[in-house]
Amino acid sequence: MNELQAIDVAKDALWVLVKVSAPLMLIALIVGLIISLFQALTQIQEMTLSFVPKMLAIFMSLLLLLPFIYTSLRDLNERMAQRIIQTE
């Protein structure tokens, strides 16, 4: 494997990482923003108030996005297997 192939593999893996993790991070960000706004409006300053709704939102979105995540990771695995086969 030369340098260009290694860079291509790393770029592909990083792109899949961003594609898989970005929706979950955006959902956590949106839920956190909504809870922070609620806390600011009601002047409730409880630190643990944001933890449970964020955790539930991420869990529910993970359940909904699981087929997409599985497909993305399976496709990456197939591309890596094809690269291994081609280099032999």
Q: What is the pTM of this model?
A: 0.80
Chain segment 62-84, per-residue pLDDT in tens: 999 999 999 999 999 999 999 98
85 contacts 11 by C-beta, under 8 angstroms: no
pLDDT of 19 strictly over 90: yes
Domains identified in the chain, total number: 1
Q: Domain of residue 77: give its range.
A: 3-87
Q: Which residues lie closer than 8 Å to 6 by C-beta, 6 or more apart? A: none
pLDDT in tens, 35-59: 989 988 988 877 778 888 999 999 9
